[in-house]
Structure 1
């Protein structure tokens, strides 16, 4: 499906589509099953959210004076908790699908088509490492956000203090500088670190390393290749965002219509939740395999360029045996 040599941009994008198309039962099927289970809670929460909104809208239209000005927030705590808890569960589902499909795509490079059960058997012993890596990545993002927020808030507080004490020019300069560093610098820092750690997931799954080792390995692997990886990831993300919007927008519009047209009706909220459930499952089952395909092929390409992995893959292909994930284990250093 892809040439066993360093890959071009076209090879990577076409290869991601081809690898999915060649084995839709596993690539799309696994995503469909996992995301269908993972999206249930968020869809129920969205139903409650729309039911609360419909009740509030009906109250406003019927008797605006009856709305309590001291309690203008119309949503119940359980619906908010279900929406955000469901989002977390959906994220866990994406992580699980990513781990499963990384092995599927990695072995599809050699022409192997794994069934869903074979994909599960290959990744089952790596699940704790996959989840541990996801947790580490969340903590890294949270830490960076906290640092940048401290820079912005601290700079603005200092700037307003200076303005209040008569140093208007210095205060305004500090406020502007803190915003530039916090926003502009924050985006640049997030992008740089994200790309440097971008291949940690395929490394955890295919190279059998622990979460911390995988992050360090990805950092070394992307040394000197940041701009190329960034450009391909940015282009792929734009394609995925466009497709996601194209698929989800009609469902989103359909989901909110019942609560506006029939405010306060219980069935309208149920319909809204069901529509959003279908939308989430459909979008993730199509976009997640492509995302994993691009990531895995970029990882394979980088190892071909840096470590001669293409020679190892050629040898395995010519030998004619069904190689497993062990084909991606790095050669021991002398």
Structure 2
């Protein structure tokens, strides 16, 4: 990547270059995590298909089929939780991959994993803290809104909603960019803790809110569209296949299609979005802290 402040085109081009430069530690790690996590619902559903009745009779569900359905779709939920946890660790690995690629180094999958040593549980704690903060803010708003609805006249409730709902959305977007968008690469690449990573995110996005927000929003839209394009055929085949096969195997076909779609989505969405976020972190440091000079020194381009 060019060791200078990056434009939008530079960031996207560098993200694809990093992925091509080191596919094993980017796409490979994402696919590995998704495959392991999504194997659980396939195995559980396969066992349930062989041992229970997963078909629902026209007259209603039997206890056996209800247990089967709960087990199958419950295991899918557990698999998605495991995938989210593993995906979080992959984002931390990709931050190191991007930092190494900036100076021309290619980390192996094992080296990228080893680079996260000592920061993995901090990364989990950071994610939980951010998630809890957003949920707490939303819960407090719902509580206040419920109190207004039960105590105020209709006109006041409507006015409260018109004013506060957009304000809440704006506040959430502000918190996303200023506190929750860049702390992962900061935590991975700097000698800071969870709170320090949040502070670094706040510092790096100061006077850069709209630029950071625009790139983040565009990336989210592009990744969402591309993921839907990649997974729609598989999901459609799964739904058609569930109707075409024997009713006993319809749930298994659906679970397999969902699992495969998740793996394919992870192969693109996780490496690209994580690389873009890490590159925005590098870009902000180059703009604010002359980080490009430090990278040149590490790459041996300066004396």
- For 1:156, which of 149, 152, 160 is the aligned residue? 149
Matches within 5 A, 1:79-90: 79-90=72-83
Mapped contact 1:32–1:285 kept (Cα < 8 A):
yes
Cα displacement string for residues 227-250 of structure 1 (whole angstroms, at most 9, x for unaligned residues): 110001011111101111001111
Higher mean C-alpha displacement, 251-260 vs 307-316 = 251-260
Cα displacement string for residues 171-221 of structure 1 (whole angstroms, at most 9, x for unaligned residues): 222222343355322221111101012111001100031112111221122
Q: Tell me which residue corresponds to 2:8.
A: 9
| Matched position secondary structure for 2:206 | coil
Residue 45 to residue 255, structure 1, CA distance change in 2 (3 Å): farther
Displacement of 1:252 after TM fit?
Answer: 1.3
CA–CA separation in structure 1 for the residues paired with 2:168 and 2:42: 33
Q: Tell me which residue corresponds to 2:138.
A: 145
Q: Tell me which residue corresponds to 1:29.
A: 28
Displacement of 1:124 after TM fit?
Answer: 2.1
Q: Tell me which residue corresponds to 1:287.
A: 269
Residue 10 to residue 45, structure 1, CA distance change in 2 (3 Å): farther
CA–CA separation in structure 2 for the residues paired with 1:235 and 1:194: 14
Mapped contact 2:96–2:189 kept (Cα < 8 A):
yes
TM-score by length of 2: 0.88
Cα displacement string for residues 144-195 of structure 1 (whole angstroms, at most 9, x for unaligned residues): 2212222332332234xxxxxxxxxxx2222223433553222211111010
- For 2:296, which of 302, 314, 327 is the aligned residue? 314
| Matched position secondary structure for 2:227 | helix
CA–CA separation in structure 1 for the residues paired with 2:135 and 2:68: 27
Q: Tell me which residue corresponds to 1:255.
A: 238
Mapped contact 2:95–2:185 kept (Cα < 8 A):
yes
Residue 263 to residue 53, structure 1, CA distance change in 2 (3 Å): farther
Structure 1 segments unaligned to the other structure (5+ residues): 61-65, 160-170, 322-334
Structure 1 residue 225 and structure 2 residue 208: aligned? yes
| Matched position secondary structure for 1:192 | helix
CA–CA separation in structure 2 for the residues paired with 1:282 and 1:122: 26
Matches within 5 A, 1:159-178: 159=152, 171-178=153-160
Matches within 5 A, 1:257-276: 257-262=240-245, 264-265=247-248, 267-276=249-258
What is the root-mean-square deviation of aligned Cα atoms in Å? 2.7
Structure 2 segments unaligned to the other structure (5+ residues): none
Mapped contact 1:12–1:298 kept (Cα < 8 A):
yes
Residue 77 to residue 100, structure 1, CA distance change in 2 (3 Å): same
CA–CA separation in structure 1 for the residues paired with 2:281 and 2:288: 11
TM-score by length of 1: 0.81
